[in-house]
């Protein structure tokens, strides 16, 4: 139901007391005695007022503007959108205000002196310029008084100004925290500074603030900030670390919404100014945001210096050979063994491979062999325990979940990279170039998720002689943030690399692996629609997706799958086939409303006790990270004894984390997630939804990443053409410098030019339409976005070339693979896609019909209920037994 917009009501009242005050924001709950109100039905003396307030003072009078709402537990209360401090109306009141005891060193006499000299505008005069107090009071008293006034009234004024210019109280509060008493001046006099200095205000918003402050469209500050914001947005939305001149101009024009010739000249001047201010770097016809280029330079130079370094622990091939330890007596194949040797005999090493190829097995062997090497040398060289500790193995991963898995598998402590580096929110890393981390060998898992900024922090903090091994699946999605670290390291051929290709886990019979490999090669296999022992396909139109997913989930629930074991994946949040809608469906199935069940609401989401939930942000202080999944294990209401505020407790694999209304926005339901958020996680059953509505997001790496999250079974729902389109479209090329920085200058330039030529093919399509961030959130374009459909197919061929070259150059023993078939041209595929998307549901390829219903399976297969769960563990009689007929609505 659409929400009706109402005019604000008003209450003027005296503050009795502050019932609750949040630590991490200005949110408060107040008890107020009503003096006057326009609320028709309010006849009580007191009212509860909630909202964002400065240091409001009991006994003072305020005017609150907002709405009367009904809280499910606490009943009626006033939700204030803004408020005003009713300042003393006359000089007598003003004297009482200054002498209230709030201002150290100001008694009645001093208060009278101040008011005598400054009159009724005393407060405004002091807030504007505290030097008006010079000579009236002692310097210390003047400083304290000005500071206290700022703290209370300065923030209140900022709330008021924020309200007038369309800033939420929360942003106004953060601005005050950032700029202090200067905040108001920044907003009114130099608003475009916010583009460079303040996180979380898009250029459009800053521009609107500046317009209200009287800045014309052609003001140089506006053009400069618009150019900078445009370039930065373009880099972040496409994952680039630089833009060509043409791209930079297009991004700037799009952000500034003008391409007049005078604007062209102004943009050129702004680009020059941004370069001289060192906000941008211009080189060889490209513009890079200084931080991104700086990060690439640091990573490349650190990699090069590490490659030349000699570690304290000797790792000659002979020593590695004699100390080689393979856990669990596994028989490593030739390539795996060569990978271990190369990883230990080189200071920097990259290991890649698809699921089940033995990356973890190699990691375990590396850890065990390294420890044996350290022990052996500590003994033979008479080293002490401290030396062994200094050279120990460290393990880390970009996500908490992957780190936990590493710990479980290796038996060694693994952490997130953030934790390894001691990065806490908003603060600099504890470990950096001046204070490096300790350890002799560092293994980073899920390295495909490493963006250039995190890579910079990581490489900066490595001791100069540390061994580093990056492990990942090169065919997965690139990092959410800019950069292409893993790809560039491999492509440079400067860093030794082994690609594991033989699949062990799912074995030859696994059709999920075969499908993933085929999609990797740009082909949707002929048997895509045929149900296999471990995968099924259900073709539906976009509007049939919710029903189809619901049917599949019901079948899964009947078969005993838990919410933890099943993961619904879709590329984006919105649309009826998107993550938000699918979460509702899954929540109702896995955790239906029960009488008396405790719930807590945040925005549109109602969390129920028992829900599967996902952490959306890194919160290093509480050691929970973006992508961590957990379960709601308790909900507490404020009215309960000993409970200070409504709260929700989540169990993240044994770690309990509390959320209150202030942190609940970090959490969402996790029955369905975007594919980006599922990176680094694996699930027994994956239900993947792709439809033409997600076209802007579809590519090989996305669908490959989704499919390979399935450990045992995969159910694909949606539109055939969407799968076909994704399978035949490589991930768009990322423009980065790291590769060329790693190789010699001359060769590097050549490579860059080739990449630029490629990316220009797609330039015409850029800066148009919608912007979709790397996690599937749609926003209107502020600057630009690259249309994935029009990106060249070059990354696929580059990728294949890398694989081939790597195998030949760094890994002579690896099993060579046939070069995959090149995908069709992007144009012909696009045309085909559009045609298919227009096909009506009756023209959709029919779902394969089989007569066996899910709940018949136990009987017909001769399994008892008790053995059914056991049977589910076997992919051969697992989810694949759920046939299309079990999932699809009867009417189909
Ligand atoms: N050389 C080998 N011989 C026999 N079994 C092997 C060999 N290498 C790996 N395996 C087995 O194959 C399975 C998959 O290996 P592993 O977990 O190391 O792969 P992975 O690449 O880490 O997979 P994922 O990325 O999906 O976690 C494991 O059960 C492992 O014991």
Among 474-483, 687-696, 841-850, whose mean pLDDT is lowest? 841-850
Better-predicted residue by pLDDT, 120 or 763:
120
Interacting residues of 585 by C-beta distance below 8 A, sequence separation 6+:
546, 549, 550, 553
Annotated binding-site residues for ATP read 356-360
At residue 781 the predicted structure's pLDDT band, cuts being 50, 70 and 90, is very low
Inform me whether the pLDDT recorded for 134 exceeds 80.
yes
Inform me whether the pLDDT recorded for 381 exceeds 70.
yes
Q: Whose CA is nearest to atom 28 of ligand 1?
A: 505
Give the ligand 1 atom nearest the CA of 355.
26
Give the ligand 1 atom nearest the CA of 504.
12
pLDDT of residue 155: 79
At residue 804 the predicted structure's pLDDT band, cuts being 50, 70 and 90, is very low
Q: Whose CA is nearest to atom 5 of ligand 1?
A: 504
Q: Whose CA is nearest to atom 9 of ligand 1?
A: 358
**C-beta of residue 689 within 8 angstroms of C-beta of residue 717:** yes
Inform me whether the pLDDT recorded for 776 exceeds 80.
no
Task: Tell which one of 327, 504, 705 to mutate to probe ligand 1, the residue whose CB is within 8 A of the most ligand atoms.
Answer: 504
Going from the Cα of 331 to the center of ligand 1, the distance in angstroms, rounded, reads 11
Give the ligand 1 atom nearest the CA of 332.
1
At residue 443 the predicted structure's pLDDT band, cuts being 50, 70 and 90, is very high
Give the ligand 1 atom nearest the CA of 328.
31
Inform me whether the pLDDT recorded for 473 exceeds 80.
yes
Helix or strand (DSSP H, E) at 485 = helix 485-492
Helix or strand (DSSP H, E) at 31 = strand 27-37
What average pLDDT does the segment 320-339 reach?
Answer: 90
Inform me whether the pLDDT recorded for 864 exceeds 90.
no
Across 818-850, b (16+ Cβ under 10 Å) vs e yields eebeebeebeebbeebeebbeeeeeebeebeee
Q: Whose CA is nearest to atom 13 of ligand 1?
A: 505
Inform me whether the pLDDT recorded for 469 exceeds 80.
yes
Helix or strand (DSSP H, E) at 499 = strand 497-500
Better-predicted residue by pLDDT, 186 or 356:
186
Going from the Cα of 356 to the center of ligand 1, the distance in angstroms, rounded, reads 5
DSSP 475: T
Going from the Cα of 397 to the center of ligand 1, the distance in angstroms, rounded, reads 19
At residue 364 the predicted structure's pLDDT band, cuts being 50, 70 and 90, is very high
Inform me whether the pLDDT recorded for 749 exceeds 80.
no
Going from the Cα of 360 to the center of ligand 1, the distance in angstroms, rounded, reads 6
Q: Whose CA is nearest to atom 17 of ligand 1?
A: 360
pLDDT of residue 426: 62
Inform me whether the pLDDT recorded for 869 exceeds 60.
no
- Ligand 1 neighbours (beta carbon < 6 A): 330-333, 336, 353, 355-361, 504-505
Q: Whose CA is nearest to atom 1 of ligand 1?
A: 332
Going from the Cα of 335 to the center of ligand 1, the distance in angstroms, rounded, reads 13
Helix (H, G, I), strand (E, B) or coil at 114: helix
pLDDT of residue 663: 84
Q: Whose CA is nearest to atom 8 of ligand 1?
A: 358
Annotated binding-site residues read 356-360
pLDDT of residue 548: 95
pLDDT of residue 744: 66
Task: Tell which one of 414, 505, 710 to mutate to probe ligand 1, the residue whose CB is within 8 A of the most ligand atoms.
Answer: 505
Task: Tell which one of 360, 403, 711 to mutate to probe ligand 1, the residue whose CB is within 8 A of the most ligand atoms.
Answer: 360
Helix (H, G, I), strand (E, B) or coil at 597: coil
**C-beta of residue 522 within 8 angstroms of C-beta of residue 532:** no
What average pLDDT does the segment 290-305 reach?
Answer: 96
Helices 826-838 & 720-728, crossing angle to 10 degrees? 170
Q: Whose CA is nearest to atom 16 of ligand 1?
A: 358
Give the ligand 1 atom nearest the CA of 473.
25
Task: Tell which one of 326, 329, 331, 361 to mutate to probe ligand 1, the residue whose CB is within 8 A of the most ligand atoms.
Answer: 361
Inform me whether the pLDDT recorded for 454 exceeds 70.
yes
What average pLDDT does the segment 237-262 reach?
Answer: 93
Going from the Cα of 332 to the center of ligand 1, the distance in angstroms, rounded, reads 10
Give the ligand 1 atom nearest the CA of 363.
18
pLDDT of residue 795: 41
Give the ligand 1 atom nearest the CA of 682.
26
For residues 103 and 563, give the distance between their C-alpha atoms in angstroms, rounded to a whole number. 57
What average pLDDT does the segment 731-750 reach?
Answer: 78
Counting every residue, how long is the chain? 892
Going from the Cα of 449 to the center of ligand 1, the distance in angstroms, rounded, reads 21
For residues 409 and 875, give the distance between their C-alpha atoms in angstroms, rounded to a whole number. 22
Going from the Cα of 410 to the center of ligand 1, the distance in angstroms, rounded, reads 13
Give the ligand 1 atom nearest the CA of 336.
1
Give the ligand 1 atom nearest the CA of 362.
18
**C-beta of residue 456 within 8 angstroms of C-beta of residue 433:** no
Residue pLDDT, tens place only, 495-507:
999 999 988 865 5
**C-beta of residue 401 within 8 angstroms of C-beta of residue 627:** yes
On average, the pLDDT of the chain sits at: 80
Q: Whose CA is nearest to atom 23 of ligand 1?
A: 356
Give the ligand 1 atom nearest the CA of 500.
21
Across 194-205, b (16+ Cβ under 10 Å) vs e yields bbeebeebbbeb
Give the ligand 1 atom nearest the CA of 405.
27
**Backbone conformation region of residue 776, classed left if phi is above 0, alpha if psi is from -120 to 50, else beta:** left
pLDDT of residue 506: 55
Going from the Cα of 473 to the center of ligand 1, the distance in angstroms, rounded, reads 14
For residues 591 and 610, give the distance between their C-alpha atoms in angstroms, rounded to a whole number. 7
Q: Whose CA is nearest to atom 31 of ligand 1?
A: 361
| Dihedral sign, Cα of residue 673, residue 679, residue 682, residue 686 | positive
pLDDT of residue 509: 57
**Parallel/antiparallel/unpaired status of strands 286-289 and 243-244:** antiparallel
Burial class (CB in 10 A: 0-12, 13-18, 19+), 172: buried
Interacting residues of 758 by C-beta distance below 8 A, sequence separation 6+:
733, 792, 794
Going from the Cα of 847 to the center of ligand 1, the distance in angstroms, rounded, reads 34
Burial class (CB in 10 A: 0-12, 13-18, 19+), 352: buried
Q: Whose CA is nearest to atom 15 of ligand 1?
A: 358
Q: Whose CA is nearest to atom 18 of ligand 1?
A: 358
Going from the Cα of 394 to the center of ligand 1, the distance in angstroms, rounded, reads 21
Q: Whose CA is nearest to atom 2 of ligand 1?
A: 332
pLDDT of residue 245: 96
Closest CA to 448 of 432, 470, 431: 470
Task: Tell which one of 328, 338, 356, 512 to mutate to probe ligand 1, the residue whose CB is within 8 A of the most ligand atoms.
Answer: 356
Q: Token pair of 599, please?
A: 């719930």
**Backbone conformation region of residue 575, classed left if phi is above 0, alpha if psi is from -120 to 50, else beta:** left
Inform me whether the pLDDT recorded for 826 exceeds 80.
no
pLDDT of residue 7: 58
Helix (H, G, I), strand (E, B) or coil at 708: coil
At residue 701 the predicted structure's pLDDT band, cuts being 50, 70 and 90, is very high
Going from the Cα of 565 to the center of ligand 1, the distance in angstroms, rounded, reads 20
Better-predicted residue by pLDDT, 774 or 638:
638
pLDDT of residue 127: 82
Going from the Cα of 357 to the center of ligand 1, the distance in angstroms, rounded, reads 5
Query: Cα torsion for 401, 402, 408, 412, to the nearest 10°?
Result: -120
Residue pLDDT, tens place only, 544-558:
999 999 999 999 999
Going from the Cα of 867 to the center of ligand 1, the distance in angstroms, rounded, reads 27
Residue pLDDT, tens place only, 69-124:
887 677 788 988 888 887 776 788 888 888 878 788 899 899 999 999 999 889 88
At residue 642 the predicted structure's pLDDT band, cuts being 50, 70 and 90, is confident
Going from the Cα of 504 to the center of ligand 1, the distance in angstroms, rounded, reads 5
What average pLDDT does the segment 339-351 reach?
Answer: 96
* pTM for the full predicted model: 0.73
pLDDT of residue 622: 82
pLDDT of residue 873: 31
What average pLDDT does the segment 703-711 reach?
Answer: 93
Give the ligand 1 atom nearest the CA of 711.
26
Task: Tell which one of 339, 358, 409 to mutate to probe ligand 1, the residue whose CB is within 8 A of the most ligand atoms.
Answer: 358
Inform me whether the pLDDT recorded for 644 exceeds 50.
yes
For residues 320 and 420, give the distance between their C-alpha atoms in angstroms, rounded to a whole number. 27
What average pLDDT does the segment 799-820 reach?
Answer: 32
pLDDT of residue 507: 53
pLDDT of residue 34: 93
Beta bridge partners of 688: 569, 716
Helix (H, G, I), strand (E, B) or coil at 535: strand
Inform me whether the pLDDT recorded for 842 exceeds 60.
no
Residue pLDDT, tens place only, 35-51:
999 988 788 899 999 98
Better-predicted residue by pLDDT, 162 or 422:
422
Interacting residues of 540 by C-beta distance below 8 A, sequence separation 6+:
547, 548, 717, 718, 719, 841, 844, 847
For residues 69 and 51, give the distance between their C-alpha atoms in angstroms, rounded to a whole number. 12
Going from the Cα of 363 to the center of ligand 1, the distance in angstroms, rounded, reads 10
pLDDT of residue 292: 97
For residues 814 and 397, give the distance between their C-alpha atoms in angstroms, rounded to a whole number. 26
Better-predicted residue by pLDDT, 878 or 661:
661
pLDDT of residue 289: 97
For residues 104 and 108, give the distance between their C-alpha atoms in angstroms, rounded to a whole number. 12
Give the ligand 1 atom nearest the CA of 353.
21
Going from the Cα of 682 to the center of ligand 1, the distance in angstroms, rounded, reads 14
Interacting residues of 629 by C-beta distance below 8 A, sequence separation 6+:
401, 612, 613, 614, 615, 652, 670, 681
């Amino acid at each position: 139901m659409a929400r009706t917009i109402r005019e604000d009501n008003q209450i003027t009242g005296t503050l009795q007391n502050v019932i609750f005050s949040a630590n991490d924001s200005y949110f408060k709950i107040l008890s107020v005695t009503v003096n006057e109100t326009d609320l028709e039905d309010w006849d009580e003396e007191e009212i509860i007022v909630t909202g964002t307030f400065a240091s409001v003072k009991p006994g003072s009078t305020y005017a609150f503007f907002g709405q009367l709402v009904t809280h499910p537990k606490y009943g009626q209360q006033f939700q204030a959108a803004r408020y005003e401090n009713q300042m003393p109306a006359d000089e007598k009141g003003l004297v009482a205000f200054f002498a209230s005891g709030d201002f150290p060193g100001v008694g009645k006499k001093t208060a009278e002196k101040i008011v005598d000299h400054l009159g009724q505008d005393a407060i405004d005069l002091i807030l504007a310029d505290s030097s008006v107090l010079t000579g009236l009071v002692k310097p210390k008293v003047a400083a304290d008084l000005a500071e206290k006034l700022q703290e209370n009234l300065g923030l209140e004024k900022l709330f008021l100004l924020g309200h007038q210019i369309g800033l939420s109280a929360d942003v106004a509060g953060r601005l005050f925290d950032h700029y202090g008493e200067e905040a108001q001046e920044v907003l009114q006099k130099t608003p475009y500074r916010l583009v460079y200095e303040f996180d979380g205000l898009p250029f459009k918003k800053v521009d609107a603030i500046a317009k209200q402050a009287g800045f014309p469209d052609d003001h140089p500050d506006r053009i400069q900030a618009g150019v900078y914001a445009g370039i930065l947005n373009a880099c972040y939305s496409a994952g680039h670390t630089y833009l060509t001149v043409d791209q930079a101009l297009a991004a700037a024009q799009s952000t500034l919404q003008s391409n007049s010739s005078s604007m062209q000249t102004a943009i050129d001047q702004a680009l020059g100014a941004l370069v001289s201010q060192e906000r941008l770097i211009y080189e060889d016809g490209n513009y890079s945001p200084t931080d991104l280029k700086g990060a690439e330079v640091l990573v490349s130079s650190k990699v090069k210096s590490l490659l030349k370094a000699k570690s304290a622990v000797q790792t000659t091939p002979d020593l590695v050979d004699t100390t080689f330890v393979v856990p669990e007596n596994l028989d490593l194949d030739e390539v795996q063994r060569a990978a271990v040797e190369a990883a230990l005999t080189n200071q920097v090493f990259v290991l890649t491979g698809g699921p089940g190829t033995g990356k973890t097995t190699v990691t375990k062997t590396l850890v065990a062999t390294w420890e044996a090497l350290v022990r052996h040398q500590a003994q033979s060289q008479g080293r002490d325990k401290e030396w062994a500790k200094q050279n120990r193995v460290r393990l880390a991963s970009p996500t908490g979940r992957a780190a936990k898995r590493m710990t479980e598998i290796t038996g060694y402590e693994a952490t997130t990279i953030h934790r390894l580096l001691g990065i806490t929110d908003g603060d600099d890393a504890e470990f950096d170039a001046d204070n490096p981390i300790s350890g002799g060998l560092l293994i980073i898992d899920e390295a495909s998720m490493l963006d250039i900024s995190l890579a910079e922090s990581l490489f900066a903090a490595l001791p100069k002689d540390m061994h580093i091994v990056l492990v990942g699946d090169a065919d997965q999605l690139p990092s959410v943030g800019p950069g292409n670290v893993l790809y560039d390291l491999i492509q440079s051929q400067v860093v030794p690399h082994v690609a594991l290709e033989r699949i062990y886990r799912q074995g030859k019979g696994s059709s999920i692996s075969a499908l993933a490999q085929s999609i990797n090669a740009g082909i949707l296999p002929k048997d895509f629609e045929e149900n296999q022992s471990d995968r099924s396909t259900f073709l539906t139109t976009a509007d049939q997706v919710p029903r189809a997913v619901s049917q599949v989930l019901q079948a899964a629930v009947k078969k005993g799958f838990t919410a933890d074991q099943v993961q619904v994946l879709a590329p984006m949040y919105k649309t009826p086939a998107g993550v938000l809608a699918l979460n509702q469906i899954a929540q109702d199935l896995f955790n239906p409303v029960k009488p008396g069940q405790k719930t807590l609401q945040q925005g549109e989401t109602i969390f129920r006790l028992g829900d599967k939930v996902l952490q959306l942000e890194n919160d290093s202080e509480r050691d929970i990270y973006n992508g961590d999944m957990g379960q709601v294990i308790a909900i507490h209401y404020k009215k309960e004894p000993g409970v200070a505020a409504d709260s929700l407790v989540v169990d993240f694999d044994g770690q309990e984390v509390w959320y209150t209304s202030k942190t609940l926005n970090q959490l969402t339901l996790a029955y369905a997630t975007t594919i980006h958020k599922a990176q680094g996680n694996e699930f027994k059953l994956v239900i993947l939804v792709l439809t033409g509505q997600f076209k802007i997001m579809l590519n090989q790496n996305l669908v490959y990443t989704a499919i390979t999250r399935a450990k045992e079974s995969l159910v694909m729902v949606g539109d055939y053409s969407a799968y076909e389109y994704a399978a035949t479209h490589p991930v768009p090329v990322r423009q980065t410098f790291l590769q060329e920085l790693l190789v010699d200058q001359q060769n590097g330039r050549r490579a860059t030019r080739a990449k630029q030529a490629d990316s220009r093919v797609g330039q015409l399509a850029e800066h148009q339409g919608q912007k979709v961030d790397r996690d599937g959130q749609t926003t209107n374009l502020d600057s630009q976005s690259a249309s994935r459909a029009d990106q060249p197919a070059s990354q696929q061929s580059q990728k294949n070339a890398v694989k081939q070259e790597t195998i030949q150059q760094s890994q002579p023993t690896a099993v060579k693979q046939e070069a995959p078939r090149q995908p069709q041209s992007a144009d012909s595929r696009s045309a085909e896609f559009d045609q298919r998307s227009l096909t009506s549901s009756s023209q959709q390829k029919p779902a394969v019909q089989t007569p066996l219903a899910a709940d018949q399976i136990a009987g017909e297969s001769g399994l008892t209920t008790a053995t059914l769960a056991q049977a589910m563990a076997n992919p051969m009689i697992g989810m694949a037994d759920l046939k299309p007929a079990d999932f699809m609505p009867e009417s189909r």
